[in-house]
Chain A
Amino acid sequence: MANRPCPACGASVQFRSAAPYAVCPYCQSLLVRRDATLESIGRVADVPEDFSPLQLNTAGVFEGRRFTLIGRIRKAWEQGSWSEWCALFDDQRLGWLAEAQGDLVMTFERPLEQLTPQPKPGALARAKPGNNLTIEGRRFTVTDVKAVVLLGAQGELISCPPKGTAMKSIDVRGPGMEFGTIEVTADETSVFTGRFVEFAECRFSGLRALEGWTPPVAAVR
């Protein structure tokens, strides 16, 4: 864990991971780590209020490994929005825990070379539901293609599109509970795969208290 001054406002920003991005909790500057220096690349909005039971520092378990939520971005498309939590595992590995429509999905970034067929420039942006593709040898089917913008961000982040960046988010479904997302911007294509997780299986601790509700008994340790 390290504290570094925000280059924009001078406030102390906490780092717990090797994640390249962080949002200053005081001035909402989006900070990027370049070698030893910290650079501000503009401001992002705070995450809008919601009734999520998750919050920064909520800890959980995925397939026997412990993780802590260290950051969050909220993305919006034409008809709604969802949260993606940056999960820091005990072995410093980073993953995304997406929270949408009451469902949770844990995904990890995969090398772009593992995507077949290898997309030609601009081809992925034209992907349609029903298209088939393979990631790391596993078959996936495109189920959803959306134009997405960033609504807000907080904490430490694996990646964070700068404000106003147009993105395509391509959801893919694999066998059983497998799920993936391909994010396409003008400059970059990133591939994430993982699976749906049950709230109870994560055995969360440090959940946000929600007035009038108690967490499912099986879910808490």
Chain B
Amino acid sequence: MSASESSVASAAAARTAKVVSCPACGASLTLRALGQSVMAACPSCQSQLDVSRADVRLIQRYREQVTKLRIPLGTRGVLKGERFEVIGAMQRSVSGYRWEEYLLFNPYLGFRWLVFDAGHWNFGTMLRENLSLSPSGTLEYGGRKFTKFQSGKPVVDWAVGEFYWRVTAGDRVNSSDYIAPPFMLSLEKADDEYTWTQLEYLEPDEVEAAFHVHSPARDNVAPNQPNPASRAMSRVVQIALTALVLAIGVQVFTAVRARSSTISLGNYSFEKGVAPEQVYGPFTFDAPFSLNELTASAGLNNSWVELDCSLVNTVTGETREFTNAFSFYQGSDSDGPWSEGDRHDTSLLPTIPAGTYNLVVEGASGDDHDQRIQQPVSLSLTHDVVPWRNFWLAVLAIVAYPLYLALRVHAFERQRWSESDLSPYSSD
């Protein structure tokens, strides 16, 4: 504050509003950008006035009452860190589709635009550079690549307030819009004049706070509206990649270190005269808290096997009980041959402390005549296996949210481009 005060002349501040009277109806109107404005519209009778010279002259007399403005002329607000005053407003349309453009003024910074379109707001800055399109029709500006979105011939429906050029209802330009959300570059061609305007998407609450305006809900996607899912995606993707690398690293480490040694235990027999409780071992688990697999298999045919197993530590007597069961049926009916079940089963034995163990198995079985099966059941134990299931669960958990976001990004982009005749999605 003190810096700005010391830098300006100490003379009394110049007034920045001049009141003139309308030559059509005599009402007084306030000029806010004197010296820059060439026209103003009388707020009482809407007549268009030439204010480019000292004498205010009538350009066009109007009788119709213009719609009440969303933001009254003279309203000031801070956008992008700078204060602006609304000095003019106009409505433009393309075949009945209407939007509003408010001309903002700051005597130090010049003119800006605030565009309202179906609940969406954009902040417009005129470009001084002459932009040129690449032969493929794309555009690069400010390090961003812009894609053509639409073109049209907007017409001015009405204009009130001050403007730096003579705007008249019925004025028509050729416009083309190029997007790189949150930015849009709009080219307007009138006669021999080319004007490029950069539009930056504003969140409605930003404009509501700045100009105390009520903004209706957005019910479509604006051409340059930032994709909310992309924003979340860009935050998540880094984390997901890190987690994935970490999971793979842990898995590789585990796989390299795992012993995966096979201990053959022999067969379980259902033969008559053999005790149902059969003991295998002792065998040694030398990896601490290892994951182990017991696989039982038998040449079943329309029969089942159920093995009640106990892994018993020979020193501590600590016991881990589990069941290994499988069945296999086959036959044929009107649909042809069928089969169901498996001829083997694998039981996972996680976090088994290192030590010497016995495996005690008590089996039961039956065939389609409710008789015990004849075939032996072969038992095999793998010590310290690589736990793949956890790995795949982790990968799924890591990838699920980014995948969901990718679907949402796509859905939002489809909705955006549904308003364009140049949609890359229109073929499907």
Q: A residues engaging B (CB < 8 A)?
A: 48-53, 55, 76, 79-81, 83, 101-103, 128-130, 141, 143-144, 151, 173, 175-177, 179, 196, 199, 204-217, 219-221
Contact = CB atoms under 8 A, between A and B. Distances in A.
Given A53-B107, A81-B52, 14 more contacts: A51-B14, A79-B38, A79-B165, A80-B165, A101-B111, A101-B164, A102-B105, A144-B192, A199-B108, A204-B7, A210-B14, A211-B16, A213-B108, A219-B108
B189 to A, nearest CB: 11
Given A50-B35, A80-B52, A80-B164, A217 B3 contact: yes
A141 B193 contact: no
B299 interface: no
Contact of B36 (A49, A51, A130, A177): A51
A207 B14 CA distance: 11
Given A207-B7, A213-B108, A48 B35 contact: yes
Contact of A220 (B4, B9, B16): B4
Contacts of B4: 214-215, 217, 220
A interface SS class? loop
A-B CB proximity, top 6 nearest = A102-B110, A50-B35, A129-B192, A209-B13, A80-B38, A220-B7
Nearest to B82: A216
B15 interface: yes
Most buried by B among A49, A80, A103, A215: A80
A51 B108 contact: no
Contacts of A216: 82, 108-109
A212 B194 CA distance: 34
Interface of B: 1, 3-4, 7-9, 11-18, 32-36, 38, 52-54, 82-83, 105-111, 126, 128-130, 164-166, 191-194
A132 B52 CA distance: 31
13 contacts: A48-B53, A49-B35, A51-B32, A51-B35, A53-B107, A80-B165, A102-B164, A151-B53, A196-B128, A204-B7, A210-B108, A211-B17, A216-B109
B130 A211 contact: no
B128 A52 contact: no
A129 B8 contact: no
Given A143-B193, A209-B11, A51 B34 contact: yes
B111 to A, nearest CB: 5
A51 B7 CA distance: 17
B380 to A, nearest CB: 77
Nearest to B38: A80
Contacts of B111: 101-102
A183 to B, nearest CB: 19
Contacts of B83: 213-214
Nearest to B132: A175
Contacts of B34: 49-51
B165 A52 contact: no
Contacts of A48: 35, 53-54
B91 to A, nearest CB: 22
B1 A214 contact: yes
Contacts of B192: 128-130, 143-144
A213 B107 contact: yes
Contacts of B1: 214
Contacts of A173: 130
Contacts of A219: 108
A44 to B, nearest CB: 15
A91 B137 CA distance: 47
A52 B16 CA distance: 9
B13 to A, nearest CB: 4
